[in-house]
Amino acid sequence: KHLSKIEGFSFSKIDDGYLKNSEIYPHMFVLLYDEKKLGIKRDIFLRLLNSEGITSGSGYQRPMYLNPIFTKKIAYGSKGYPWTCYDINTKQYYKKGLCPISEDLLYKKFIFFYQIAHSSTISDMKDIINAIFKILKNKKQINNFFRKKNKKFINQGRILN
């Protein structure tokens, strides 16, 4: 409810028909981050959230199809099996740009809050909201700090008052 008021965050919507026929067991909370609307680079935003004790990240390191097993075609052994199998005649390739929407989501928009689970409390949720509002309230200072390429960024502990 609180985060929906912030322009620059988008949330997954679950179809009501789906809800009637199933149970939802959230293990993480995901939102989409719009860097232009929020005014802070997503990677900096994530570093700050983590500095505030909010376990969050951008998801996987790369899309599945960009793992070496696909890009180098080395699933089994060093000769390219199964792509070189006698009965498979494929010219399939795997490279960056193959799925631009997925890549845009992964590299620019996804934010995962990993601690959202059954053990999370209302207090935990308020900590997340407070950290986000704290970061957004200080975005001018934050951008100035990182614009100067400040190497003294603290990875542990709080960096904002």
pTM: 0.73
Q: Retrieve residue 161's tokens.
A: 């008052």
Phi, psi of 68 (to 5 degrees): -55, -30
Q: What is the pLDDT of residue 149?
A: 66
Percent of the chain clearing pLDDT 90 (strictly above): 25
Lowest mean pLDDT among 19-23, 46-50, 119-123, 145-149: 19-23
Which one has a higher pLDDT value, 30 or 27? 30
Q: Is residue 137 over pLDDT 90?
A: yes
88: which strand partners? Answer: none
Residue type, 81: Y
Q: What is the pLDDT of residue 21?
A: 62
Q: Retrieve residue 82's tokens.
A: 């199964």
| Cα–Cα nearest to 59, from 7, 109, 20, 123 | 109
Could you tell me which residues come within 8 angstroms of residue 100 by beta carbon, excluding any fewer than 6 positions away? none
| Cα–Cα nearest to 105, from 7, 27, 35 | 35
Highest mean pLDDT (candidates 27-31, 63-67, 145-149, 154-158):
63-67
Q: What is the pLDDT of residue 136?
A: 94
Tally the C-alpha atoms within 13 A of residue 12's C-alpha that lie toward its C-beta: 11
Q: What is the pLDDT of residue 91?
A: 72
| Res. 147 pLDDT band, cuts 50 70 90 | confident
